[in-house]
Amino acid sequence: MTVNRAGRTPRLTPVVGEPPTTGAATTAGKLEQTSSTEVVAANPDLPPVDDARLRALGIDVTRKEGPAGLGHSRILDVLGPDRFASVPAVRVDGKVAWFNFALARELGFPLDADTMTPELHQKILETLAYRALTPGEDPKGREVVDLFADRYGRRGSGPDFDDEKSAAGNYVIGKPYEEGHYTLGANDLKKKGALGDQYQMMAFSACTSDHYVDDLRQVKGSKSLDILSTKSLLNWDPSAASVLGVLDGVMGGQSINDITTHLEKVTPHDGKNGAWTARGFKDNTYQPGQ
């Protein structure tokens, strides 16, 4: 999510941009904002961010914003405002249970040392502690800020190809994480001959795609199905590089070790032990070219 307020833009997670606001004015040091908020279309001429990791996170540290002076988030600039839903929220009290000093410093949080002080604790709450208002809830005089939640999946990160209640074109692997949230259709792996008998190699460049493996293995064993999957959350930025890296590796006859080494280099992730897992490659019965 990203937060938009009159002249101050703290964010709840490291994301990439926010729209300007109208009706915002500063009077004797007090910020005021009308209920009118206007967003702008995606800007294709954004200045580049030199640091590769920050670019993957969508953070521009040259533009400081919010009470903590964090780097500017470019998500609304890059994806466009139609990919987000605006959610009104108010600040709340809280207590910091854990804080990643290294990541906070990388994103531009002003830190003198890796020590939690009362001043730092308050600054964290001012930057991150918000609660979404329920529909029709009275804020009771509290300042209201706009949080922006990405419209993930079929409801916004598209474009989509058919109605969200249509299952046409879906290939369903196993049970959904949340029943009824989307119209998916029947589990295709339950169909007769779902994966066939020939050798296959599958690569899933998506968040925590390890979850597909157990369902696939119930249908086809490791001797005829090799799988490249991920064990952590991935950013969108390197998606093309990872997919093309797999294709280049296979077409170039590279070993699976070379392919996964390349994937780790082009894939920023939040895991401590790498992003990718290779399964099934040690017991192949298929020999290309023979």
84 token code pair: 């987000």
- Across the strands, what pairs with 64? 71
Decide: pTM greater than 0.75.
no
Percentage of the chain surpassing pLDDT 90?
29
169 token code pair: 């074109």
Cβ neighbours around 205 below 10 Å, total: 22
The residues, any chain, with a CB within 8 Å of residue 169's CB and separated by 6 or more, are 161, 162
pLDDT(245) > 70? yes
What is the rounded distance in angstroms from the CA atom of residue 148 to the CA atom of residue 18? 8
Which tens digits make up the pLDDT trace of 71-127? Answer: 788 887 877 787 788 899 999 999 999 999 988 887 777 788 899 999 999 999 998
Q: Report yes or no: 2 and 39 within 8 Å, Cβ to Cβ.
A: no
Q: Report yes or no: 269 and 220 within 8 Å, Cβ to Cβ.
A: no
pLDDT(138) > 70? yes
Which tens digits make up the pLDDT trace of 53-74? Answer: 676 677 887 788 777 778 788 8
What does the buried/exposed string (b/e) look like for 243-277 if buried means 16 or more CB atoms within 10 Å of the residue's CB?
Answer: eebbeebeeeebebeebbebbeebbbbeeeeebbb
**E-state strands within the chain:** 2-4, 24-27, 30-33, 59-65, 70-73, 84-91, 130-132, 144-150, 200-203, 225-230, 276-279
Instruction: For residue 285, give the nearest of 221, 232, 235 by alpha carbon.
Output: 221
- Across the strands, what pairs with 91? 130
What would the DSSP string read from start to end of 17-54?
-----SSEEEETTEEEE-S--------TTPPP-SSHHH
Q: Assign 244 to helix, strand or coil.
A: helix
